[in-house]
Structure 1
Amino acid sequence: MNKLVYVAASAILMFGLTACQRKVTSEEAKKIALEDAKVKEAEVTFTSEGMEDDEYVFHFQNTSNSYFYEISKSGKIEEKQVISMAQNMPEVTKDKTGSSNQKITQDEALQIAYEKFQVSSENVKNVKVKLDKENGIEVYDIDFDAGNKEYSCDISTTTGEILNFDSDSR
């Protein structure tokens, strides 16, 4: 009988602790996204916000970037994506064969990505670099894992500019 009482009390206690776990409001989640993006609400335009798969979802932009955030009810950033809105890409001179004479190497692109995500090359695994086109711009499509996160970005082969990036928890 004592065992049954102990099991019932444990179940009630666990349920109570789970129910007491603080959940953030939509406004608090929005503030988390803005702080992570290092922008103020007055500096951006929200294009959409709501709930998706029991997470707060925000899309907002300013003149420089477009932002996408998914934030759990516990306040953890589950996914984020930042896309550069750069429209005035510098012109690249072409040689007589039509190919660009200013091209960063894959190693330079990887170094740019590591610096952006503040990871050390020693801690990186599963590196994938693919030459691709993004909105008519030749890019290195870079994916890698470090710690408990997956990282992804597109870097212009001609300017070294990060055109978009995101990171997800694994």
Structure 2
Amino acid sequence: MNKLVYAAASALLMFGLVACQSKITDEEAKKIALEDAKVKEAEVTFTSEGMEDDEYIFHFQSKSDSYFYEISKTGKIEEKQVIPMAQNMPEIEKDKTSSNGQKISQDEALTIAYEKFQVSLENVKNVKVKLDKENGIEVYDIEFDAGNKEYSCDISTTTGEILNFDSDAR
């Protein structure tokens, strides 16, 4: 009888541990991001989705904001960023970002990117930098490889702010 009670208790404990660590699907993770952003899927455009380091990664945009979410497989929001779109910036900011004077250099932008992705300069290969516009803002469009990943980001030439970023396994 004691063996039966012990076996039943062990089975319940194991079931409880497995249930507590249940993993969510990518669709469930997407739903968590949308609910947190207080937007509906029909109101946004997904610009990238994927997995990185066992976390779901989502970039999406509404008419007013750009969103970035990292969600763990347990459903916890590990990181999120909300960036106002350029058309919603105050008029003074629009004037500032449309100026032709660059406030940061290409080298400074690269340093910002390397720090964001926590890569060391000696591991970086195939660096590409071009001047571009993202939502009306002049940016450095930066791409490079490090280790077994490809990295990309857009950095404002006037503020040094990372406007969007992505990394993918090669």
The structure with the largest helix share of the pair is 2
Q: How does 1:48-63 map to 2 (within 5 A)?
A: 48=41
User: How much identity, in percent, do the aligned residues show?
Assistant: 58
| CA deviation after TM superposition for structure 1 residue 152, in Å | 0.4
Q: For structure 2, list consecutive stretches of 5 or more residues without a partner in the other structure.
A: 1-21, 43-50, 75-80
Q: Which residue of 1 aligns with 2:117?
A: 117
With normalisation by structure 1, the TM-score equals: 0.54
Conservation of the 8 A alpha-carbon contact between 1:67 and 1:83: yes
With normalisation by structure 2, the TM-score equals: 0.54
Whether 2:131 is the aligned partner of 1:149: answer no
Length, aligned pairs only: 127
Query: In structure 2, how many angstroms separate the alpha carbons of the residues matched to 1:27 and 1:84?
Result: 23
Give the residue type in structure 2 aligned to 1:85. Answer: P
Query: In structure 1, how many angstroms separate the alpha carbons of the residues matched to 2:61 and 2:100?
Result: 33
Q: Which residue of 2 aligns with 1:88?
A: 89
Q: For structure 1, list consecutive stretches of 5 or more residues without a partner in the other structure.
A: 1-22, 35-39, 50-54, 76-81
Give the structure, 1 or 2, with the largest relative contact order (CA under 8 Å, sep 6 or more): 1
| CA deviation after TM superposition for structure 1 residue 60, in Å | 6.1
Q: Which residue of 2 aligns with 1:161?
A: 161
Whether 2:25 is the aligned partner of 1:26: answer yes
Q: Which residue of 2 aligns with 1:45?
A: 38
Conservation of the 8 A alpha-carbon contact between 2:129 and 2:142: yes
Query: In structure 2, how many angstroms separate the alpha carbons of the residues matched to 1:84 and 1:47?
Result: 17
Query: In structure 2, how many angstroms separate the alpha carbons of the residues matched to 1:136 and 1:61?
Result: 15
Query: CA 1:93–1:138 in 2, change beyond 3 Å: closer, same or farther?
Result: closer
